[in-house]
Chain A
Amino acid sequence: MAGQARYLDPAIVARLGSIDLKAKTIVEGFLTGLHRSPFKGFSVEFAEYRQYLPGDDLATLDWKIYARSDRHVVKKFEEETNVECHILLDVSRSMGYSSHEVTKLQYASFLAGALAYLMNRQRDAVGLLTFDDQIQTLLPASARPGHLKTVLLALERLTLGARTDIAKPLGDLVQAIRKRGLVVLISDLLDDPDRIIEGLKHFRYRGTDVVVFQVLDPHELSFPFDRAARFRDVESNHEVVAVPAAVRDTYRARLDAMVSNFRTVLGQNGIDYTLLDTSQPLEVALLAYLQTRRRAL
Chain B
Amino acid sequence: MGGLSFLSPLYLLGILAIAVPIALHLFRRRTDVIVEFPAIRLLTQSPVEQQRRKRLRELILLALRVTALVLLAGAFARPYLAGRILAADAAVTVVAVDRSFSLSAPGVFDRARALALQAVGDAPSTHAVALVAFDESADIVVPPTTDRGAVTAAIGALTPGVAGTRYAAALARAAEVLGPRAGQVVVVTDLQQVGWQGAPRGGLAQDVEVRLVRVEAPLQNLAVIAAERRGARVEAAVRNFGLDARTTVATLTVDGAETSRLTVAIPPQSVAPVTFDADTPAAGAAVVAVADEAGVPADDARYLVLDPAAPTRILVVVADPTSFRGGLYVERALGAADEGRAFTVTVLDGRRLSAWTSEQMAREHAVMLLGTRTLERRGRELIGTYLSGGGSALVALGPDIDPATLGDMIGAPTAVAPEPRDLGRGGATLVLEDTRHPVLRPFAMPAAALGDVVFEQYRAVGDAGRRVLARFSGGPAALLEQPRPRGRLLLFASDLDNRWNRFPLSPAFVPFMVEAGRYLTETDRQPQSWTLPSVPAGVPAEPGVHLSSPEGEAAGRRVAVNVNLEESNPAPMSPDEFLAAVPRVPRTAQPDVVTEARKAEDDQRLWQWGLLVMFVALAGEGLVGRRAM
Contacts and interface: CB of A to CB of B under 8 A. Distances in A.
Interface of A: 94, 97, 188, 190, 216-217, 219-220, 225, 227-236, 238-243, 246-247, 250-251, 254-255, 258
Given A232-B40, A233-B40, A238-B40, A251 B46 contact: yes
Given A228-B628, A246-B49, A240 B36 contact: no
A97 B37 contact: yes
A94 B37 CA distance: 8
Interface stretch (B27-35, B383-391, B505-513, B531-539): B27-35
Contacts of B34: 229-232, 239
Interface of A is mostly: mixed
Contacts of B32: 229-230, 241
Contacts of B56: none
A251 B38 CA distance: 13
Interface of B: 32-49, 51, 54, 628-629
Given A254-B45, A254-B46, A190 B629 contact: no
A246 B49 CA distance: 8
B403 to A, nearest CB: 87
Contacts of B36: 97, 231-234
Contacts of B40: 231-233, 236, 238-240
Given A229-B32, A230-B33, A251-B43, A188 B49 contact: no
A177 to B, nearest CB: 29
A247 B37 contact: no
Given A97-B38, A190-B38, A234-B38, A246 B33 contact: no
Given A240-B43, A258-B42, 18 more contacts: A97-B36, A190-B38, A219-B37, A220-B37, A220-B38, A220-B39, A228-B33, A229-B34, A230-B35, A232-B34, A232-B36, A235-B38, A240-B44, A241-B49, A241-B54, A246-B48, A247-B46, A251-B42
A224 to B, nearest CB: 11
Given A254-B42, A258-B42, A247 B47 contact: yes
Contacts of A238: 40, 44
22 contacts: A94-B38, A188-B38, A217-B38, A220-B38, A225-B35, A228-B628, A229-B33, A229-B35, A230-B32, A232-B37, A233-B36, A233-B41, A241-B48, A242-B46, A246-B47, A247-B43, A247-B46, A250-B45, A250-B46, A251-B42, A251-B43, A251-B46
A219 B40 CA distance: 12
A240 to B, nearest CB: 5
Given A190-B41, A240-B40, A255-B42, A231 B35 contact: yes
Q: Which of A232, A235, A241 has the largest count of B CB atoms less than 10 A from its CB?
A: A241
Contacts of A251: 39, 42-43, 46
Contacts of B48: 240-243, 246-247
Q: Which of B33, B45, B48, B628 has the largest count of A CB atoms less than 10 A from its CB?
A: B48
Closest 8 A/B residue pairs (Cβ):
A94-B38, A233-B40, A247-B46, A229-B33, A242-B48, A250-B46, A231-B37, A254-B42
A193 to B, nearest CB: 10
Contacts of B628: 228
Contacts of A234: 36-38
A175 B48 CA distance: 43
A273 B11 CA distance: 70
A129 B150 CA distance: 97
Contacts of A243: 48-49
B72 to A, nearest CB: 29
A93 to B, nearest CB: 8
Contacts of B51: 241
A225 to B, nearest CB: 7
A250 B45 CA distance: 9
A94 B40 CA distance: 10
Contacts of A97: 36-38
A258 B54 CA distance: 30
A94 B38 CA distance: 5
A232 B49 contact: no
A216 B42 CA distance: 13
Contacts of B42: 251, 254-255, 258
A239 B49 CA distance: 13
Nearest to B48: A242
Nearest to B40: A233
Q: Which of B35, B38, B46 has the largest count of A CB atoms less than 10 A from its CB?
A: B38
Contacts of A235: 38
A15 B257 CA distance: 105
Contacts of B38: 94, 97, 188, 190, 217, 220, 233-235
Nearest to A226: B629
Contacts of B46: 240, 242, 247, 250-251, 254
Nearest to B44: A240
A290 to B, nearest CB: 29
A228 B39 contact: no
A242 B45 contact: no
Nearest to B33: A229
A225 B42 CA distance: 15
Nearest to B46: A247
Nearest to B41: A190
Nearest to B34: A230
Nearest to A249: B46
Nearest to B37: A231
A242 B43 contact: yes
A58 to B, nearest CB: 51
Nearest to A245: B629
A251 B54 CA distance: 21
A239 B51 CA distance: 13
B57 to A, nearest CB: 11
Q: Which of B37, B40, B45 has the largest count of A CB atoms less than 10 A from its CB?
A: B37
Nearest to A193: B41
Contacts of B44: 238, 240
A227 B43 contact: no
Contacts of B45: 250, 254
A97 B38 CA distance: 7
B43 A231 contact: yes
